[in-house]
Amino acid sequence: MKVLVTGGAGYVGSILTTMLLRRGYEVKCMDRLFFGKEALHNTISNPRLELIKDDIRWFDPTILKDVDATIDLASLANDPAGELDPSKTYAINYRGRVRVANLSKEYGVKRYILASTCSVYGFHEDILDEASRTNPLTTYAKSNVLAEKKTLALADENFTVTVLRQATVYGLSPRMRFDLAINGMVLGVYRDRKIPVMKDGTQWRPFVHVKDTSKAFMKVLESPENKVNKQIFNVGSNEQNVQIFPLAEMVGKALPVPSEIEWYGSPDKRSYRVSFDKIKNTLRFVPDYTPKEGAKEVYEALESNKITDSLKTNTVEWYKHLLEAHKLLEEIILRDTIL
């Protein structure tokens, strides 16, 4: 079976690509490689991996001719990154992914799995399930809601479409990110013994380890069509719905050095608790990792220099750098043209 993974060199994608290869799948990994291809260094020589440097907005659709399933992870990731250039966020996260789904169906791909986010719930005081009303508060969340609707509408008996709304991801990855809540807290403790906490700390968030969310994609890929077609699944576990301040205390206690809370930002307008009963009962999905375990593995990787902090490990800052570099390049080209 051959699988196309868009965004396959990313934070989740690099883990999922490795899982697929270990399971015996052939994998086409398509990625813009904004963050390089280092995350695939352990798999790049695998004969069952084809790395394609391209963009979901304009890739040659003939690469889909021999593909059996598409896992669409490519996006401008997280809420702050989505606000840097909202027009690009909609172009990639909405129209780009709908293009991937449409072309997958046109070229005879049997399955399409969309990576969405629990951020679509925005703010709710109740516990939410897949049938609850969405309340997207950011460009990132709004573009995901639109992509969900358009891709699910393509589903039929010959084209299985599934949407996975992922909780906030944490844990160690070859394409490391420290702009995610738990990972950022760990970095703060490692760097200056302070745990950064976004005000006011009472906001709820669901969490899931990067290996667990990758496992969920595998579960959907390998499940019978009648269980997953036209379905939305929240990905995580009820036990990992946590308020941010208690989460920070949990992370601090899990690590081997003393630390203190460091507040930052304005009060977060997003707060939501999510039910994960559907994926547990339908697909028998149960996470293997907890936030404590994830925090420990990231801290140990920092201590052993297995990973390091850099501009690339903060998605927003790296995107800002790329946008500024692109702007500078355009200015140089324009200046040279005038001269």
pLDDT digits (tens, 9 = 90+) for 209-230: 999 999 999 999 999 999 999 9
Rounded CA gap, 16 and 216, in Å?
10
pLDDT of the residue at 325: 77
Task: Give dist(CA 295, CA 308) in Å, integer.
Answer: 15
Answer for the pair 40, 174: CB distance below 8 angstroms, yes or no. Answer: yes
Q: What is the pLDDT of residue 60?
A: 97
pLDDT, residue 330, reads 52
- For residue 128, is pLDDT > 50? yes
Length of the chain: 339
| Residue where the block lists tokens 């516990």 | 127
b vs e for 164-173, b when ≥16 Cβ sit within 10 Å of the residue's Cβ? bbbbbbbbbb
329 pLDDT above the threshold of 70: no
What percentage of the chain has pLDDT greater than the value 70?
A: 96
Q: Which residues lie closer than 8 Å to 102 by C-beta, 6 or more apart?
A: 154
Of the candidates 209, 208, 188, 210, the residue with the CA atom closest to the CA atom of residue 197? 188
Q: What is the mean pLDDT of the chain?
A: 94
Residue 291: pLDDT over 50: yes
Alpha helices in the chain (DSSP H): 13-22, 79-82, 86-89, 97-106, 139-152, 181-192, 210-221, 225-228, 244-254, 277-283, 291-303, 315-338
Using CA atoms, how far residue 293 sits from 171, 199, 206, 254, in Å, is 9, 25, 16, 8
DSSP helix, strand, coil percent of the chain (3-state; round to 5): 45, 20, 35
Query: What is the distance between the alpha carbons of residues 43 and 50, in angstroms, rounded to a whole number?
Result: 10
Of 2, 317, 313, 333, residue with least CA distance to 173: 313
The pTM is what? Answer: 0.94
Give the C-alpha separation, 267 to 197, whole Å. Answer: 10
The model's pLDDT over 67-76, given as tens digits with 9 standing for 90+, comes to 999 999 999 8
User: What is the rounded CA–CA span in Å between residue 260 and residue 264?
Assistant: 13
pLDDT for residue 337 is more than 70:
no
Evaluate if residue 84 carries a pLDDT over 90: no
pLDDT of 141 over the 70 cut: yes
How far is it, in rounded angstroms, from Cα 314 to Cα 180? 9
Q: Coil, helix or strand for 304?
A: coil
**CATH fold of the domain at 2-317:** Rossmann fold (3.40.50)
At 93, the amino acid letter reads N
**Angle between helix 181-192 and helix 244-254 axes, rounded to 10 deg:** 50
Write down the pLDDT at residue 338. 45
Cβ 17 vs Cβ 43: under 8 Å:
yes
Q: Which residues contact 272 (CB under 8 A, 6 or more apart)?
A: 118, 121, 122, 123, 124, 128, 204, 205, 206
Report the pLDDT averaged over residues 102-123.
97
Tell which residue, 52, 50, 41, 42, has the closest CA to residue 22: 42
**Considering only CA atoms, which of 249, 242, 235 is closest in space to residue 185?**
249
Distance CA 54, CA 158 (A): 27
